[in-house]
Structure 1
Amino acid sequence: MGNLREKKKQTNNSLCSVFQSVNMDESRSLAGYAESASSVGSNESVHTQGKVTRGTKPVLFPNSDIDGLLECPVCSNSMYPPIQQCPSGHTLCFECKSKVNNKCPICRKEIGDIRCLALEKLAVSLHLPCTYHHLGCEEIFPYYSKQKHEAQCIFRPYSCPHPGSDCSVTGDIPNLLAHLRENHKVDLQTGCTFNHRYVKQDPCSVDNVSWTLTLFNCFGHYFCLHFEAFRLGTEPVYMAFLRFMGEESDARKFGYCLEVGGDGRKLIWQGVPRSIRTHHRSIRDSHDGLIVQRSLALAFSGGDRKELKLRVTGRIWKEL
């Protein structure tokens, strides 16, 4: 209990010192503050404890005490208007208000419809580094612009591209490559051409989605070849497509083609690899790849058509 009072005292002292250091025109509306915060301001900066001053705007470094004041105690994310406040002055974000049944998570008092305008105005005065600064992003943004940038920041971690599970692992490309090979036992091949063979004993039974994944290293980049069997309505279908391990803008610098055939028949697909930023289910559902209906797949297999034998060949190239 003593520690809680001491922490609250330190927080209040920090907040008071911030309000003393921020010169704000109270006659301006909050909307005016948000509009004026749309630009970073002067490039000249003066370093002080826990922050950098850009013109008249304080720039906070991560883990600073003031930055912590704007962290929701429920979800640990940054708070944005309308910031909620309980009668004792504890704050939380609007989205988390219903999660705690309108009870303050700190003092358990009923949370009404009180907004913490002081914190909202304080936030307008701040400029913060991108959350992914430790991964290489050097951008600094006004508080209310930072979230939009971070949703698209090219330095944000990638999600594991493996389709076989809802894997929660994230990381950069080297870490994901090691994860895919060690944890998911995915093969890594070198070269810009491939020959993929898919065999299924009972091609009529596709109760759930099944898949294979292969990694390719070519042109100094990595690609994921997906081959999935699933139901399109009531009919089993087979689909192959390529994903690029990197950003969408870089993925568009490459092209690829897929070919499947047999028994005197051939089907060819040509397209552009999609970034692993796009979930494999989204690519599958948009049909952005080589799709083979079961009847045609059985024709490719030849023989008595009781066993599915598909051979998918392909090539990756770099666009000029």
Structure 2
Amino acid sequence: MAPGGSTCKEVPESHSITADYDIATSNAEMKISPPIKATITYGGKPVTSSTNGVHELLECPVCMSSMYPPIHQCPNGHTLCSNCKIRVHNCCPTCRYELGNIRCLALEKVAESLELPCRYQSLGCHDIFPYYSKLKHEQHCRFRPYNCPYAGAECSVTGDIPFLVLHLKDDHKVDMHSGCTFNHRYVKSNPQEVENATWMLTVFNCFGRQFCLHFEAFQLGTAPVYMAFLRFMGDDNEAKKFSYSLEVGANGRKLTWQGVPRSIRDSHRKVRDSQDGLIIQRNLALFFSGGDRQELKLRVTGRIWKEE
């Protein structure tokens, strides 16, 4: 059947040596925007040229991500990445011929010669990387955008810190406070209901940086608990320059917590599940509330300071 038919044709397999690369493949990799210059070594001298066409050749036609070895091809020369080879059941998505195990060594060699800018160049990263190192760098690039720290709903917004602060204020209506000390009051009319996590988020502007105070109810195993913790709007190496304390209590008793704020690079769920914060059992929380234990009334006080 000619190319374009609806069934796969069986072809002899080409047995090539498969090289291992220490690289993680991301199906969510963004396209690099215009126009990118690559350095290609030719005759021992670096030559700069536009790579729009080359980058398109290295783009998988199925997932649209950059391809990394092993790059597969069908007998007609159509290429795709190894992840998508499995997804299309070993059948070329372009001409429907059977893929077999043919490697496109020439395209892999071309990729080896490329040096490309980080995809976050427009956000401030001006480093240039060999093709096979670029993706690994981008997974940890300090200029990569942050995820929105709002935990009450799935929010897919990303951006730098100033953008996210405005986003939290305007779109999520989060309370904004200035100062390094706080006195936060939490009231819940029916403290028996914790199945749907009740939570709050407050942003504090302190030392010219922003901190997110989370307070919520959830099930820890079978026990209903309340938890308060702080996250820093920035990277982990900056977060470690600060410490904070939290305190809650009444009737001559109190609980205190002191720790280091976690970066918002760590997801809200990751911090919560690690129990890295002030945890209050419900019975103790109701005791702190006083009265007939039918209403939760907790006052959480705290302080943020900078380590010398």
Could you say which TM-score interval applies, normalised by the shorter chain? Answer: 0.7 to 0.9
Residue 188, structure 1, aligned to residue 176, structure 2: yes
CA shift for structure 1 position 73: 1.5
1:60, 1:159 → 2: CA distance?
34
Number of the residue aligned with 1:156: 144
SS at match of 1:131: coil
SS at match of 1:255: strand
CA shift for structure 1 position 60: 6.3
Residue 304, structure 1, aligned to residue 287, structure 2: no
Larger helix proportion of the pair: 1
Residue 132, structure 1, aligned to residue 120, structure 2: yes
Number of the residue aligned with 1:51: 38
CA shift for structure 1 position 74: 1.7
Which amino acid is 1:155 matched to? Answer: F
Cα distance change, pair 287–109 in 1 and its aligned pair in 2 (3 A): same
Does the 8 A contact of 1:57 with 1:126 survive in 2?
Answer: no
Alignment of 1:1-320 (within 5 A): 50-53=37-40, 56=45, 64-320=52-308
CA shift for structure 1 position 153: 0.2
Cα distance change, pair 30–127 in 1 and its aligned pair in 2 (3 A): farther
Cα distance change, pair 214–115 in 1 and its aligned pair in 2 (3 A): same
Unaligned runs of 5+ in 1: 1-28, 36-48
Number of the residue aligned with 2:4: none
Does the 8 A contact of 1:58 with 1:126 survive in 2?
Answer: no
SS at match of 2:139: helix
1:245, 1:293 → 2: CA distance?
28
Identity over the aligned pairs, expressed in percent? 65
Number of the residue aligned with 2:12: none
CA shift for structure 1 position 293: 0.4
CA shift for structure 1 position 110: 2.7
Normalising by structure 1, report the TM-score: 0.81
Does the 8 A contact of 1:58 with 1:127 survive in 2?
Answer: no
CA shift for structure 1 position 59: 5.9
Does the 8 A contact of 2:39 with 2:116 survive in 1?
Answer: no
Which amino acid is 1:313 matched to? Answer: T
CA shift for structure 1 position 56: 4.0
- 1:140-176 Cα deviation digits (max 9, x unpaired): 1111111111110000111111101111111111111
Does the 8 A contact of 1:240 with 1:289 survive in 2?
Answer: yes
CA RMSD of aligned residues (A): 2.1
Cα distance change, pair 51–148 in 1 and its aligned pair in 2 (3 A): closer
CA shift for structure 1 position 133: 0.8
Does the 8 A contact of 1:60 with 1:67 survive in 2?
Answer: no
CA shift for structure 1 position 30: 8.4
1:193, 1:84 → 2: CA distance?
58
Cα distance change, pair 30–107 in 1 and its aligned pair in 2 (3 A): closer
Does the 8 A contact of 1:257 with 1:271 survive in 2?
Answer: yes
Unaligned runs of 5+ in 2: 1-16, 23-35
Cα distance change, pair 91–58 in 1 and its aligned pair in 2 (3 A): farther
1:258, 1:117 → 2: CA distance?
58
SS at match of 1:98: helix
1:294, 1:261 → 2: CA distance?
13
2:135, 2:57 → 1: CA distance?
17
